Homo-oligomer: A and B are copies of this chain.
């Protein structure tokens, strides 16, 4: 047992999770100030939302990234963007988020403020409201610093039908930029590695980009963000979900020199590295180039490229052709490359 320092105002204590007076002070003094909106201010048991009468999308994700601060972002920005992106991948306009904190006793209030600020900024960028929340505090060593869950609600325009089941032969596969940055940014921070090229996480809300894309064409068949498990796992999920074959070209996949070097050093395959600001987009070939032009007009789409195509043969199989024309089968991530990347 570590000694418990009573009344230290700078750290989270078990009282902050009691549901009583000290909890209320934390909620009013920190969360409400940063996430201000009418639905949250009411402090009801549930928030009442105004939603247009369209299809509703609903998703959830927990974030356990270690370390909680990393080059290019932190667990707060990640928690907002991760859920915003899951909604965006369905063609939804994200509107409302919930947030659930699980905090270890003794966690620095200063660090919680930074995280809450970062969530507030990301929510503003994504134009979503954080409308309900919950805070639990557990004893020292019962959790590692802080875990955050976000759930999100969005609306899908009536004529949008984007699904992991909708890829068909003849489609091309697009990614919106460099692969692997998030994975390497977190791992390098964790291991105290310093690469010549400073690698920042790509963590970003993609709903602005996807809204532009949906405005351009209603023929996007599939979108998915290659987070845990990386590009390889996402492509395999699409191949299985749509019962199609997928062929990608290694040379076309955008990967920064820094990530390539870090992968060599660490013995990692960038195909399996996590991304937090990337989308895999499947669209009919005849619309591919035009869609890329549209994507390039958005800061998060500047690196958009066609990396492969959907084929009728070998349903459920993903293959990658390398610079020498040799084709190899790409499987899902088996086992764990590294835990707590998001």
Q: Are A57 and B48 in contact (CB under 8 A)?
A: yes
A98 partner residues in chain B, CB cutoff 8 A: 58-60, 151
Q: Which of B63, B90, B144, B333 contacts A21 (CB 8 A)?
A: B333
A46-B59, A57-B49 as given contacts; A147 in contact with B20, CB under 8 Å: no
Quote the shortest CB–CB distance from A202 to chain B (angstroms): 17
Q: Are A335 and B44 in contact (CB under 8 A)?
A: no
Q: Are A13 and B134 in contact (CB under 8 A)?
A: no
Quote the shortest CB–CB distance from A90 to chain B (angstroms): 5
Residues of A within 8 Å of B, CB-based: how many? 87
Q: Are A86 and B18 in contact (CB under 8 A)?
A: no
* Least CB separation from A56: chain B residue: B49
A153 partner residues in chain B, CB cutoff 8 A: 56, 58, 153
Q: Are B332 and A46 in contact (CB under 8 A)?
A: no
Kindly identify, within residues 1 to 57 of chain A, every residue whose CB is under 8 Å from any CB belonging to chain B: 13-15, 17-24, 42-51, 53, 55-57
Q: Are A18 and B333 in contact (CB under 8 A)?
A: yes
Question: A99-107, A109-117, A119-127, A169-177: which lies at the B interface?
Answer: A99-107
Question: A135-143, A281-289, A304-312: which lies at the B interface?
Answer: A135-143
Interface of A is mostly: mixed
A59 partner residues in chain B, CB cutoff 8 A: 45-47, 98, 132
A23 partner residues in chain B, CB cutoff 8 A: 228-229
Kindly identify, within residues 63 to 81 of chain A, every residue whose CB is under 8 Å from any CB belonging to chain B: 63-64, 66
A58 partner residues in chain B, CB cutoff 8 A: 46-49, 96, 98, 131-132, 153
* Least CB separation from A228: chain B residue: B19
Complex Cα gap A51–B333 (Å):
36
Any B CB within 8 A of the CB of A242: no
Any B CB within 8 A of the CB of A178: no
- What are some 11 contacts across the A-B interface (CB < 8 A)? A14-B339, A45-B85, A46-B154, A48-B55, A58-B98, A62-B136, A100-B100, A102-B102, A137-B339, A139-B339, A142-B143
Known: A24-B332, A64-B143. 13 other contacts (CB 8 A): A15-B334, A15-B336, A17-B228, A17-B339, A19-B227, A45-B59, A45-B87, A45-B224, A48-B56, A49-B56, A59-B132, A60-B134, A142-B143
